[in-house]
């Protein structure tokens, strides 16, 4: 039973990644874990945000993970959800190791940064991930 990790952030590309991960799990009898990362290191400075803004950001990601779980369940796939805090690439890589993922699925950025054609997070993750990586466009 393959262990699939999917990184989701609410973007259209991450929705495609979730759909792909669920389809792969359906086809192969795999299980899916989803991770969303609260980027506490990026702009705007996390500690400068009000407590209410931080709470809203966390609630948005928790809702996103709940929706992902419901989507997977509606297709007969169990999904475990994880909310992490920190740098997105670092958190995704740590989850891949912790979950002993055999495949990581994530969306390419719609706005590539730092000259990377697939986006900064996808580029970093694909370069350092301990398992196979599928980047969905």
Instruction: Give 40's pLDDT tier (boundaries 50, 70, 90).
Output: confident
pLDDT for the residue 47? 67
Give yes or no for residue 9 having a pLDDT over 50. yes
Domain ranges of the chain: 9-100
CB 101 within 8 A of CB 33: yes
The average confidence (pLDDT) of the chain is 89
Distance CA 31, CA 21 (A): 9
pLDDT for the residue 101? 97
> Of 29-33, 59-63, 117-121, where does mean pLDDT reach its minimum?
117-121
Following DSSP, what letter does each residue of 67-85 receive, concatenated?
A: HHHHHHHHTT--EEEEEEE
Q: What is the mean pLDDT of residues 31-35?
A: 97
Percent share of the chain, pLDDT over 70? 91
pLDDT for the residue 98? 96
Cβ-defined contacts of 125-129 (< 8 Å, 24+): 125/7, 125/89, 125/92, 125/93, 128/89, 128/93, 129/93, 129/96, 129/104
Parallel, antiparallel, or unpaired: how do β-strands 31-38 and 103-107 relate? unpaired
CATH 3.40.50.620 fits 9-100, yes or no: yes
CB 3 within 8 A of CB 102: yes
């Amino acid at each position: 039973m393959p262990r699939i990790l999917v990184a989701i952030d609410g973007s259209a590309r991450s929705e495609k990644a979730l759909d792909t991960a669920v389809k792969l799990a359906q086809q192969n009898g795999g299980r899916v874990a989803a991770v969303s990362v609260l980027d506490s290191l990026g702009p705007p400075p996390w500690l400068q945000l009000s407590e209410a803004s931080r709470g809203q950001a966390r609630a948005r990601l928790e809702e996103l993970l709940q929706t992902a779980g419901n989507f997977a369940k509606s297709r007969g796939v169990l999904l475990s959800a994880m909310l992490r805090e920190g740098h997105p690439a670092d958190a995704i890589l740590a989850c891949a190791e912790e979950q002993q993922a055999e495949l990581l699925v994530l969306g390419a950025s719609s706005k590539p940064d730092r000259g990377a054609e697939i986006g900064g997070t996808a580029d970093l993750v694909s370069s350092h991930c301990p398992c196979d990586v599928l980047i969905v466009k």
